[in-house]
Amino acid sequence: MLGLSAFAFADGSSLGSNPGPSGSPTVGSSDDDGARASPSASVSGGSDSGRERLMMGIADSSEKRSSIKEQFRAAIQNKVDGDQRFNRCSQFTDAAQREACFTQEAGIGDLARDKIKCESDDANASACIRGLKEKVLTAWRWRFAHLIDMAGKLNVSANLTADVEDFKVFVQSEALAFENATTSAEKKQIVNDVLAAWKELRAKILREMVEAKIQKAQTGIERALEVLRNLRDKLQERNQTTPGLDNAISRLEANLAKLDSDNVSLSQKWVSARHSLDAIAFAKRSIMRMVNRMPAEEMRESEVEIPKEVEEADDSS
């Protein structure tokens, strides 16, 4: 089964890392003026047009979706399928290695230098430039095709299946637009739009993953709380004081209230879940101290480091 961390874009970002501005992909394109296109740092927003096309489903009708898929298959997928260079590079699970392979196998070097060499060959300048552009297009066809393949292999819940399918159609549409783009600005915008859409999908997946983990922890905490309450009742029936258990149960009840609240962030819920584990461990120690007639100890909560994916899921809400 393909893990989420294997879903990486050409910039090397994956679900296990932060695809922020510092990780923006470089668009190895050579347009009419020979400029090397590189997306701006502000990729998090994307263009309104690209994001609106995604949010509106880019293809409200099944007929339009089918048309985009068919055009992509004819213009790009058929050129990628069976290409041993693409297949060889796609086997790399490390995004940086895969991107280096795409670049090398497509024959892309220093584009500015290569264009100067083309222009110095008066007899074959036009053909040389066309060949250079075709190399760049080849690399980007591979990148788009690989991204779509990886999206199709994502292990997501039924709730996000439609989002993944929308994303795949969106990338297919943008890949077709890239084929027809004639300037660096157009190509940069297309890449920014795709990266913005990817970040939106990634955020949804992260949020669902984090919420599922917190829900699983909450279920375990509720079961532990029920056991501790029953045990306390039995001890109190024997006229035993239970200060340690009382403290742990009160803490668990307060934490569960936070876990149930819609007004508490995922980061806060993560901390509450972790502190609940501390309270359960404290309750177990308190019981042992009671059995051994030892004095009660003070309950302490550990410092909780919030994972990056939890913080990112919070940012997406």
Same domain, 280 and 162: no
Alpha-carbon span 118 to 32, nearest angstrom: 13
Name the residue among 149, 204, 203, 155 with its Cα closest to residue 171.
149
C-alpha distances (whole Å) from 23 to each of 38, 161, 236, 293 are 11, 27, 59, 59
The token duo for 78 is 């058929």
Tens digits of pLDDT across the chain (317 residues): 233 333 333 333 333 333 332 333 333 333 433 333 333 333 334 445 554 555 455 556 788 888 999 999 999 999 998 889 999 999 998 989 999 999 899 988 787 788 888 888 777 888 888 888 888 889 999 999 999 998 988 888 888 999 999 999 999 999 999 999 988 899 999 999 999 898 888 888 989 999 999 999 999 999 999 999 999 999 999 998 899 999 999 999 999 999 999 999 999 999 999 999 999 999 999 999 888 888 878 888 889 999 998 988 887 76
Same domain, 92 and 151: yes
Name the residue among 181, 208, 97 with its Cα closest to residue 146.
97
DSSP 61: S
Same domain, 200 and 279: no
Same domain, 265 and 148: no
Same domain, 168 and 235: no
Same domain, 10 and 156: yes
> Of 204, 231, 255, which one is at a domain's C-terminal end?
204
Cα angle 253-255-257, degrees, rounded to a multiple of 5: 70
C-alpha distances (whole Å) from 71 to each of 74, 175, 258 are 5, 10, 50
DSSP element (H, E) containing 91: none
Judge whether 95 and 8 are in contact, CB under 8 Å: yes
Name the residue among 243, 247, 307 with its Cα closest to residue 274.
307
Same domain, 195 and 114: yes
> Of 178, 204, 230, which one is at a domain's C-terminal end?
204
> Of 152, 172, 204, which one is at a domain's C-terminal end?
204
Alpha-carbon span 300 to 207, nearest angstrom: 29
The residue with tokens 């510092």 is 22
Q: What is the pLDDT of residue 20?
A: 31
Q: Please state the domain count of the chain.
A: 2
Alpha-carbon span 225 to 219, nearest angstrom: 10
Same domain, 170 and 263: no
Same domain, 188 and 229: no
Beta bridge partner(s), residue 8: 14
Which residues form the domain of 11? Answer: 4-204
SS3 8: strand
Q: What is the pLDDT of residue 280?
A: 95
The token duo for 115 is 């264009």
Judge whether 235 and 86 are in contact, CB under 8 Å: no
The residue with tokens 């293809």 is 59
Same domain, 26 and 131: yes
Give just the sign of the alpha carbon dihedral 105, 92, 148, 112: negative
Judge whether 13 and 95 are in contact, CB under 8 Å: yes
Beta bridge partner(s), residue 36: 30
Name the residue among 94, 188, 103, 100 with its Cα closest to residue 139.
103
| Global pTM exceeds 0.85 | no
Same domain, 301 and 173: no
Same domain, 149 and 118: yes
